Amino acid sequence: MIKSKIFLIFFSLINKRKDTLANSAQSRKRARQSEKQRQHKASQRSTLRTYLKNVVKAVAKGDKAAAQEAYKVAVPVIDSMANKGLIHKNKAARHKSRLNKHVHGMVAA
């Protein structure tokens, strides 16, 4: 019983190192860094989408003041993500332009 537990612990330690296809220490480290970065960027993308959806929801409700406020909050977030390289600067400009068009379209309506 004890030998089997020791074997399982040892086996799990060996397998932990082989979670990736990386063979060298350098490539294993790079795989760890890439996974950490992927998770961080996924979180940032989620945050960006949340702020974009908040503006879209406010526009859909027809609440002009809430839409303008949501837009004012979303613009710095969009710019920040573009500066960090999460999205391209032209994509950021496109998002801001389209959201602004919808918000100002409410004012005219």
Q: Is 21 left (phi over 0), alpha (psi -120 to 50) or beta?
A: alpha
pLDDT value for 4 = 72
pLDDT digits (tens, 9 = 90+) for 39-81: 999 999 999 999 999 999 999 999 999 999 999 999 999 999 9
pTM of the complete model: 0.75
pLDDT at residue number 59? 95
Total Cβ atoms within 10 A of residue 98? 13
55, 85 contact by CB (below 8 A)? no
Q: Domains in the chain and their CATH numbers?
A: 28-108 (1.20.58.110)
